[in-house]
């Protein structure tokens, strides 16, 4: 094993991970409490809010597996605790890999974990991953209050348009992620279509039988179904 990997897997970094995990959990609990109290004040019911909490948690399980997959791919190069921490804190697999790559490149090394990826190059990767997230944290901490006030002004003038506006913005973001499998074709496209068909099926069931509990799980079910389809269809796209 490389010397730097022994360092990277040192217990001290696991300890940092536990600290960060506690901070994230604390923030989540504080916001759940605060929003619950405020929600009751403005007329939301307990069951509405509990249902939202439950469905969000359940629907996050399957997509979170993609982080575990990315994590496992990073372990051979960066050890266990550092990818764990980086993927939990303002993390996304593409960003971390790109930042780690930039850190290595700045030292004249192409690629992660190969020959020449010394302890110093590794340290530069870690510094780069951390330095890159300064800006977003800085901007949100300093300016979110002001940005929100500005947007709220627009919203008060025409609330109905603001609703359509937000839905349109969501559609804009997600269309990017829908477009990639469409343009690549093959198994990703087949999986995308399977997901869409299953979700449509669930929507029909929900409308016909008024099964509101299904609403909470439809996303998870249709994702799992689409993933299962990708296993069954894989041999046709090999």
Partner 1 sequence: MMEIKPVSMDTSAYEKKVHLIGRVTLITGLLLTFLLPINLWLKFGILPPFKGLLNAFVSITSLMIPVSLVEILTFSTMMGASAMYIAYLTGNITNIKMPSAIIAMEVAEVEPSSKEGEIVSGIAMAGSVLACEIIIVLGVLLSVPLSVKLNNPVIQPAFQQILPALFGSLGAYYFLKDWKLSIIPLIIAILLSKFTKLPTAITIPICVFTSILVARVLYKKGLVE
Q: Are 98 and 86 in contact (CB under 8 A)?
A: no
For partner 1, the closer of residues 115 and 231 by Cβ is 231
Three-state DSSP at 92 gives coil
Given 77, 112, 117, 124, the residue binding partner 1 (CB under 8 A): 124
Distances (CA, A) of 113 to 3, 80, 97, 129, 207: 12, 14, 12, 16, 52
- 211 forms part of the interface with partner 1 (CB under 8 A): no
Residues numbered 64-83 forming contacts with partner 1, rule: CB under 8 A: 64-69, 71-72, 75, 80-82
Using CB under 8 A, which of 28, 114, 205, 211 touches partner 1?
28
How many residues belong to the site for partner 1 (CB under 8 A)?
A: 155
Distance (Å, whole) CA 86 – CA 129: 8
Query: According to the binding rule CB under 8 A, does residue 9 interact with partner 1?
Result: no
Largest separation between any pair of C-alpha atoms in the chain: 63
Residue-wise burial string across 128-153, b where 16 or more C-beta atoms lie within 10 A, e elsewhere: bbeebbeeeeeeeeeeeeeeeeeeee
Please identify which residue in 91, 114, 117, 210 interacts with partner 1, judged by CB under 8 A.
91
Q: Does 205 participate in binding partner 1 (rule CB under 8 A)?
A: no
- Tell me the closest approach of the beta carbon of residue 55 to partner 1, in angstroms: 5
Residue from 5, 166, 208, 209 touching partner 1 (CB under 8 A): that is: 166
Q: Which of residues 30-49 bind partner 1 (CB under 8 A)?
A: 30-32, 34-36, 38-39, 41-44, 48-49
Phi, psi for 9 (deg, rounded to 5):
-95, 15
Rounded distance, CA 181 to CA 226, Å? 13
Return the residues of window 97-116 that contact partner 1 according to CB under 8 A: 99, 102-103, 105-107
| Distance (Å) of CA 50 to CA 35, 46, 55, 181, 212 | 11, 6, 8, 34, 14
Residue 236: DSSP 8-state: G
Choose which of 5, 13, 77, 113 interacts with partner 1 (CB under 8 A).
Answer: 13
Task: Report, in Å, the least distance between residue 108 CB and partner 1.
Answer: 8
Q: Which of residues 144-163 bind partner 1 (CB under 8 A)?
A: 144-145, 147-148, 151, 155-157, 159-163
């Amino acid at each position: 094993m490389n010397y730097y990997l022994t360092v990277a897997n040192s217990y001290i970094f696991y300890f940092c991970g536990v600290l960060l995990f506690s901070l994230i959990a604390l923030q989540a609990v504080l916001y759940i409490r605060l929003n619950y109290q405020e929600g009751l004040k403005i007329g939301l019911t307990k069951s509405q809010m509990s249902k939202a909490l439950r469905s969000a948690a359940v629907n996050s399980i399957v997509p979170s597996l993609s982080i575990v997959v990315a994590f496992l791919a990073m372990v051979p190069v960066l050890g266990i605790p550092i990818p764990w921490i980086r993927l939990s804190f303002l993390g996304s697999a593409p960003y971390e890999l790109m930042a780690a790559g930039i850190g290595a490149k700045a030292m004249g090394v192409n690629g992660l974990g190969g020959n020449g990826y010394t302890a110093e190059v590794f340290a530069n990767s870690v510094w780069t991953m951390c330095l890159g997230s300064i800006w977003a944290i800085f901007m949100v901490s300093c300016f979110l209050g002001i940005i929100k006030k500005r947007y709220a002004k627009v919203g008060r003038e025409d609330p109905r348009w603001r609703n359509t506006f937000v839905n349109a913005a969501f559609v804009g973001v997600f269309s990017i992620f829908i477009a990639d499998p469409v343009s690549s074709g093959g198994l990703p496209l087949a999986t995308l279509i399977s997901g869409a068909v299953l979700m449509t099926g669930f929507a029909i069931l929900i409308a016909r039988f008024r099964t509101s509990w299904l609403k909470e799980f439809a996303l998870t079910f249709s994702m799992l179904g689409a993933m299962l389809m990708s296993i069954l269809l894989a041999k046709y796209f090999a």
